[in-house]
Amino acid sequence: MSTQDKDVVELLLEQHEHIRSLFAAVQSAKGATKQEKFEELRRFLAVHETAEELVTHPSARTAEGGNEVVDARLEEETESKKTLAELDGTSVDDPAFGAKFSELRSAVLAHAKAEEQHEFPLLRANNDERVLAKMAEAVRAAEAIAPTHPHPSAGSSMTTNLMAGPLASVIDRTRDAVKQAMS
């Protein structure tokens, strides 16, 4: 099954596995490769969370008990974004990196597990196959324009992402291009 054929839950489960593999890659890498893998992880997490905040969380809220589930996930995301923002721009060789990275890893993996156990079943129960497929398309569209760095001060709601996201995305993608050109 190609990525284009997946429904939103299948797509996000695949992305959660990719996140787990990126954490493992950062942990096992050394030097410049470790820094590159961390930058890839940072970018992927920022884009992934923005897409969830714009697409899946609003849908899950409409299910019975959805508000409580989504509020808990948003709280987790905000804390992870703060930790990721603290690591953003930090060298993997910095003595503080290891402990902060372990904190991020634990938080993100617990968050992914909570989504898989609590939020994804709400999405499946509350939406038919056609809607889940459309949501996957919406996630891919949101990821194409999402900010590539964490912005915890912007918040995690759909409204704040729609208001602040486009400007943050332009700034982030410009910063990424300049950094790449300079390296």
Task: Write down the pLDDT at residue 76.
Answer: 94
User: Whole-prediction pTM value?
Assistant: 0.81
Burial class (CB in 10 A: 0-12, 13-18, 19+), 85: middle
Helix axes 158-182, 129-145, angle to 10 degrees: 50
Task: Write down the pLDDT at residue 3.
Answer: 52
Which portions of the chain are predicted below pLDDT 50? 154, 157, 159, 161-163, 167, 169-171, 173-175, 177-178, 181-182
What are 9-17's contacts with CB under 8 Å, separation 24+? 9/120, 9/123, 9/124, 9/132, 10/136, 11/136, 11/139, 11/140, 12/52, 12/56, 12/115, 12/120, 12/139, 13/116, 13/120, 15/44, 15/48, 16/112, 16/115, 16/116
> pLDDT tens digits, residue range 88-122?
889 999 999 999 999 999 999 999 999 999 999 99
Task: Write down the pLDDT at residue 170.
Answer: 43
Task: Write down the pLDDT at residue 94.
Answer: 95
Task: Write down the pLDDT at residue 179.
Answer: 53
Residue 48, token pair as written in the block: 């992934």
Q: How far apart are CA 39 and CA 180, in angstroms?
A: 11
**Residue ranges of the domains in the chain?**
3-182
